[in-house]
């Protein structure tokens, strides 16, 4: 099968969070399975081109219909760990992808709408006949709409679309003019059963468009799939999921075990696995040295996260204080796009600057993230909602015990040491339900208590987590089953 993954992110060349890991990991596993896979991405100025091989231009002047005219787009080709990648570089006066970052621009909707149209125009012009277009999140929600409204009639009639939802917190609400800009008819599409936004009827909702027009829709964990159909986590789209329930499912993400593996990770000071777990001590020491923490008999509690409302930032701040007051050390690595949240964490960093048990690193740092997973003892994830969450799975692979709120993919992957119904060998962390300081403390204090009082039992929890198979092997098979089914439907 010929599968094209279209996304705003792909690790490690353009990653802001888990979406980047998803695209890279799934593409690589599908390639291992013998499928023909391509990844299509914007050509950001922040693209880490050193990770690419044989980057070269394949088209100097793709003419993309846009805004009643044509906008010229350069197209590049390269390989990323064996996978063919195509990059789109619009020659727009506004410099659509020349902004020094992936997201967060006021014209994000226009930037990604252009990208969607450019992808389809390129596929048509290059005479590609993909079996599957696998689109992701609101940025690519227009692709199935454009495919069925415009490109099918131009000959692209064998391609089917699988659409993955990684976060309903971002739906891409846009004005009707934007639809016109990409060549769609706003009057036809701004209907309740098409793109009309359930929150504001004058606007179009690109995520909704993707859901309505795709042949199959999934989200990234079974629990989140249930939550968005049946609770307010659906963020206004619950009725839509009911209507489209026949083509909707939940598939838990994997993690790429060629990258996230403490036994062969070049960023881990001394490799370790289940059988050589004591070697983790060297990583713990290296982490303390690098971040200026004192050496002491205390667990290191980590947070590696976007600092966003969704991730439970107020509870994170509380958790940091609880940990420091209870014989523990804290390491946080996080970035905040929201200036209010950024200021709160800058203040917390200031307060804890002279504390030898605490280091807050405010920024994005892939290398430090690896060392934190390798050196930490616990990871704290108090999310309000969590479509899948990768950090708990990565952490477990590195012998780190997760302390999480029971939502979305966290509920599907973390099983409480004391209260889970799983057999003991499948219990791997600590879980709380209530979205409150008391709720968080009920889990975090049990974890810290166990580390101090029963180290052997704590070690067993680490081992239980490390033994889980979180690889892409099973999820990729599930996607392949879906693709095959779609490819045979007319």
List interacting residues with ligand ADP (CB under 6 A).
Answer: 17-19, 21, 304-306, 333-335, 364-366, 369, 388-391, 394
For 173, the token pair is 């609400």
3-state secondary structure 276-335: HHHHHHHHHHHHHHHHCCCCCCCCEEEEEEECCHHHCHHHHHHHHHHHHHCCCEEEEEEE
The CA-atom distances, in angstroms, between 410 and each of 306, 396, 428, 444 are 16, 12, 12, 15
Distance CA 178, CA 209 (A): 13
Q: Judged by CB, which is closer to ligand ADP: 200, or 366?
A: 366
Q: Judged by CB, which is closer to ligand ADP: 229, or 305?
A: 305
Q: Which residues pair with 78 in a beta bridge?
A: 85
Instruction: Identify the DSSP state of 127.
Output: T
Distance CA 198, CA 185 (A): 19
* Sign of the CA dihedral with 273 first, then 275, 281, and 284 last: positive
Q: How far is the CB of 41 from ligand ADP (least distance, A)?
A: 17
Q: How far is the CB of 73 from ligand ADP (least distance, A)?
A: 28
Q: Judged by CB, which is closer to ligand ADP: 150, or 388?
A: 388
Residue nearest to ligand ADP (CB): 18
Q: How far is the CB of 364 from ligand ADP (least distance, A)?
A: 4
* E-only strand ranges, 391-466: 401-405, 430-432
How many other C-beta atoms are found inside a 10 Å radius of the C-beta of residue 231?
12
The CA-atom distances, in angstroms, between 375 and each of 292, 378, 401, 402 are 14, 10, 12, 14
Q: Judged by CB, which is closer to ligand ADP: 226, or 364?
A: 364
Q: How far is the CB of 288 from ligand ADP (least distance, A)?
A: 19
Q: How far is the CB of 314 from ligand ADP (least distance, A)?
A: 17
Q: Which residues pair with 4 in a beta bridge?
A: 38, 133
**Backbone φ, ψ for residue 383 (5° rounding):** -60, 145
Q: How far is the CB of 159 from ligand ADP (least distance, A)?
A: 27
Q: Judged by CB, which is closer to ligand ADP: 19, or 27?
A: 19
Q: Judged by CB, which is closer to ligand ADP: 101, or 188?
A: 101
Q: Judged by CB, which is closer to ligand ADP: 17, or 262?
A: 17
Q: How far is the CB of 255 from ligand ADP (least distance, A)?
A: 8
Distance CA 142, CA 214 (A): 10
Q: How far is the CB of 13 from ligand ADP (least distance, A)?
A: 14
Q: Judged by CB, which is closer to ligand ADP: 21, or 89?
A: 21
């Amino acid at each position: 099968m010929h599968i094209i993954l279209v996304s705003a992110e792909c690790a490690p060349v353009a990653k802001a969070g888990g979406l980047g890991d998803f695209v890279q990991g799934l593409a690589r596993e599908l390639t291992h399975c013998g499928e023909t896979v391509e990844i299509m991405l914007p050509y950001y100025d922040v693209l880490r081109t050193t990770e690419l091989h044989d980057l070269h231009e394949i088209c100097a002047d793709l003419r993309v219909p846009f805004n009643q005219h044509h906008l010229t787009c350069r197209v590049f080709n390269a390989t990323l760990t064996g996978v063919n990648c195509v990059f789109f570089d619009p020659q727009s006066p506004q410099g659509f992808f020349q902004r020094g970052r992936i997201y967060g621009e006021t014209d994000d909707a226009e930037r990604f709408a252009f990208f969607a149209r450019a992808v389809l125009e390129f596929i048509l012009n290059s005479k590609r006949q993909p079996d599957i277009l696998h689109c992701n999140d609101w940025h690519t929600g227009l692709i199935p709409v454009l495919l069925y409204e415009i490109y099918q009639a131009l000959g692209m009639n064998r391609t089917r679309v699988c659409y993955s939802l990684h976060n309903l917190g971002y739906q891409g609400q846009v004005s009707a003019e934007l639809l016109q800009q990409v060549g769609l008819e706003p009057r036809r599409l701004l209907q309740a059963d098409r793109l009309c936004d359930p929150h504001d009827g004058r606007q179009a909702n690109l995520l909704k468009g993707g859901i309505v027009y795709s042949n199959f829709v999934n989200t990234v964990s079974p629990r989140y799939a249930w939550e968005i159909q049946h609770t307010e986590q659906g963020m206004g789209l619950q009725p839509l999921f009911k209507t489209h329930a026949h083509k909707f499912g939940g598939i838990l993400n994997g993690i790429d075990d060629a990258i996230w593996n403490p036994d062969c990770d070049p960023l881990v000071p001394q490799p370790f696995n289940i059988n050589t777990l004591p070697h983790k001590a060297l990583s713990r020491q290296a982490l303390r040295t690098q971040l200026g923490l004192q050496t002491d008999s205390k667990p290191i509690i980590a947070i590696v996260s976007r600092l966003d409302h969704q991730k439970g930032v107020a509870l994170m701040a509380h958790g940091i204080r609880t940990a420091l007051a209870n014989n523990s050390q804290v390491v946080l690595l996080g970035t905040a796009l929201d200036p209010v949240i950024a200021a709160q964490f800058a203040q917390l960093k200031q307060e804890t600057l002279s504390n030898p048990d605490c280091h807050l690193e405010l920024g994005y740092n892939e290398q430090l993230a690896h060392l934190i997973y390798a050196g930490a003892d616990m990871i704290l994830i108090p999310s309000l909602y969590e479509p899948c969450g990768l950090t708990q799975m990565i952490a477990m692979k590195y012998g780190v015990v997760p302390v999480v709120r029971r939502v979305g993919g966290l509920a599907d992957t973390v099983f409480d040491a004391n209260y889970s119904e799983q057999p003991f060998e499948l219990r791997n962390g600590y879980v709380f339900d209530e979205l409150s300081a008391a709720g968080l403390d009920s889990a975090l204090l049990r974890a810290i208590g166990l580390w101090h009082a029963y180290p052997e039992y704590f070690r067993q929890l680490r081992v239980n987590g490390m033994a889980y198979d979180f690889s892409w092997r099973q999820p990729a098979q599930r996607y392949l089953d879906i693709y095959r089914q779609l490819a045979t439907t007319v």
